[in-house]
Chains A and B, each alone.
Chain A
Amino acid sequence: DQQVKQNSPSLSVQEGRISILNCDYTNSMFDYFLWYKKYPAEGPTFLISISSIKDKNEDGRFTVFLNKSAKHLSLHIVPSQPGDSAVYFCAASANAGGTSYGKLTFGQGTILTVHP
């Protein structure tokens, strides 16, 4: 039962253009969403997050959009740079009873390649 899905295994983008990574979820209890980036031989690194009370969160070149009715979120990277080439994971958390903890459900990941 894949509760968080990233349906695109890979994405190739030209430097300077926009990268859009997508993620769908099925569990309506999820109320906090995160994107992680992973380089080879390193652990995942936190990138950006969004609470379900918002529909957009921006941090520099990175923006995450959340559409709760569609159970869909996306990560926009503008402009894309070669150093952004990595595996991107979307993750979700269900924070029951107001107690937050890091039991995250991850998607399968999308390999982003940014060409110079």
Chain B
Amino acid sequence: DTGVSQDPRHKITKRGQNVTFRCDPISEHNRLYWYRQTLGQGPEFLTYFQNEAQLEKSRLLSDRFSAERPKGSFSTLEIQRTEQGDSAMYLCASSRTGGSGANVLTFGAGSRLTVL
């Protein structure tokens, strides 16, 4: 197993453009999470899926953000009409279901977004 993969690793875009990030979780993990990390801060929860169902979204996830996990495997996070405040590291993580193991997340290396 290659762990959690994220693509692209770095994206530079102009304000107002749309961007999409992809995450491939560990295959036997049915939970998938998106977090955002800005400089000097810890990761902040954005949303999570169990299989293909999106079960919770943070208030941080404005209507310009949309996440999908269509077949319960990989996930995409799209940001429409990007703003400079969206510049951050977007981290994907996955975990098993049930018990304390569901709290132990395996993170990908992240996708860094820079909005000019």
A residues in contact (CB < 8 Å) with B? 4, 32, 34, 36, 41-46, 49, 51, 89, 91, 93, 95, 100-109
Residues 30-69 of B contacting A (Cβ, < 8 Å): 31, 33, 40-45, 48, 50, 55-56
B104 at the binding interface (Cβ < 8 Å): yes
8 A Cβ contacts from B91-116 to A: 91, 93, 95, 98-110
A34 touches B91 (CB 8 A): no
Given contacts A43-B91, A46-B106, contact A100 B48 (CB under 8 A): no
Cβ of B114 to closest chain A Cβ, rounded Å? 15
> Would you list 19 pairs from A and B whose C-beta atoms are within 8 A, ordered by A residue?
A4-B42, A34-B103, A41-B109, A43-B4, A44-B43, A44-B91, A46-B104, A89-B43, A91-B42, A101-B48, A101-B102, A102-B102, A102-B103, A103-B33, A103-B56, A104-B103, A107-B42, A109-B40, A109-B42
CA separation between A81 and B12, bound complex, in Å? Answer: 37
Is A34 touching B42 in the complex (CB atoms < 8 A)?
no
Cβ contacts under 8 Å, A105 to chain B:
45
* Residues of chain B having any CB pair with chain A under 8 Å: 4, 31, 33, 40-45, 48, 50, 55-56, 91, 93, 95, 98-110
Choose among B31, B42, B45, B99 the residue with the greatest number of A CB atoms under 10 Å from its CB. B42
B103 touches A101 (CB 8 A): yes
- A107 CA to B44 CA in the complex, in Å? 9
CB-based closest 7 A-B pairs: A106-B42, A43-B107, A100-B102, A102-B105, A93-B103, A43-B109, A102-B95
Task: Tell me if B108 and A101 are in contact (CB < 8 A).
Answer: no
Instruction: Give Cα A100 to B95, complex, Å.
Output: 11
CB-nearest residue of chain A to B109: A43
Complex Cα spacing A31 to B2, Å: 31
Nearest-neighbor residue (CB-CB) of B3 within chain A: A43
| Contact among A44, A51, A103, A108 for B107, CB-based, below 8 A | A44
Q: Which B residues lie within 8 Å of A106 (CB)?
A: 41-44
